[in-house]
Amino acid sequence: MDLSTLPLVGPLLHGGADLLAAVTATLSPVVGGLAAAITVVLLTLAVRAALVPLAVLQVRAERDRRRLAPQLAALRERHGTDTQRLQRAMQELYTNEKVSPLAGCLPVLAQAPVLSLVYALFTHASIGGATNTLLTATLAGVPLGHSLVLVLTSPLWAHAWVVLLLLAVLAVVVELTRRANLRWNPAAVPDPAVPGAAATAAIGRYVPFVTVVFAAIAPLAAAIYVVTSAVWTYGERAVLRRVLA
């Protein structure tokens, strides 16, 4: 199915392709073959800069949850294994304190359409019947439309180090971000009396690395977006937490 023929998606794909192509053409005389990859980086930085107000709300919400941590711990101790009563009590506390437990998701949700657009732009051979010239762009010999899996199973396997390096950087940044988050808002110790609490905590330890898996199976352009966004997130939170603490 050609997504570019859909009423709402088509104009977005056309506009996104034209924008990336125009910026790439502008940068090409200066940076040569790196132009397309740098264009994706600049797009990511522009999106993240526009989302700074949401990041401020996110860090403020984290600060408020840290302030409420003793009360939340008391609620867990009071209600024990009664999950429903605990959830109601926690929701009442958040409401009374005017704290949104969902504020931390805002930057991720706001980026989803842009990341989806980048993904679509580098996975379609044609857009509206015209050849997608973005797919000819490369980074160190790897087409921006290729994923790690495709690179490893093609004659380009010798260039897989490019994607592997990006994934390694992403894994390190994800781990650093996870540790910084734990220092800012320490996770509650799993209650042995609550069924599945230990397993949930163990799963939560590795959930952040889902982005690394996504970057490995997504087009290289989408992986560049994810890595750039992850680095921005790490630096942004470090700054905002100092300012808003």
Comparing C-alpha atoms, which of 195, 226, 192 is closest to residue 212? 226
Contact in structure between 216 and 147 (CB atoms under 8 Å):
yes
Residue 127 bridge partners (DSSP): 130
pTM: 0.83
Instruction: Give residue 208's pLDDT band: very low, low, confident or very high (50, 70, 90).
Output: confident
Higher pLDDT, 196 or 14: 14
Residue 201 is predicted with a pLDDT of: 61
Please check the confidence at residue 8 and state whether its pLDDT lies above 70. no
Beta strands 130-131; 126-127: pairing state: antiparallel
Could you tell me the two tokens for 234? 């790490």
pLDDT of residue 62: 80
Task: Identify the residue with better confidence: 230 or 70.
Answer: 230
**Count, residues in the chain:** 245
The token pair at 163 is: 């994607």
Q: What mean pLDDT do residues 106-130 have?
A: 83
Question: Does pLDDT of 205 surpass 70?
Answer: yes
Confidence of residue 234 (pLDDT cuts 50, 70, 90): very high
Report yes or no: 143 and 192 within 8 Å, Cβ to Cβ: no
Residue 225 CA to residue 239 CA, distance in Å, equals 21
- Confidence (pLDDT) at 160: 93
More confident residue, 131 or 195: 131
CB 167 within 8 A of CB 215: yes
Per the CB < 8 A criterion, the answer to whether 115 and 225 are in contact is: yes
Residue 148's contacts (CB-CB under 8 Å, 6 or more residues apart) are: 160, 163, 164, 167, 216, 217, 223
Output the pLDDT for position 88. 79
Rounded (to 5) percent helix, strand, coil in the chain: 80, 5, 20
Model confidence band, residue 80 (pLDDT cutoffs 50, 70, 90): low
Torsion over CA: 54, 46, 161, 152 (sign): positive
Which pLDDT score, from 0 to 100, does residue 158 have? 92
CA angle (212 as vertex; 12, 134 as ends), nearest 5: 35
**pLDDT over 80 at 197, yes or no:** no
56's tokens:
């401020």
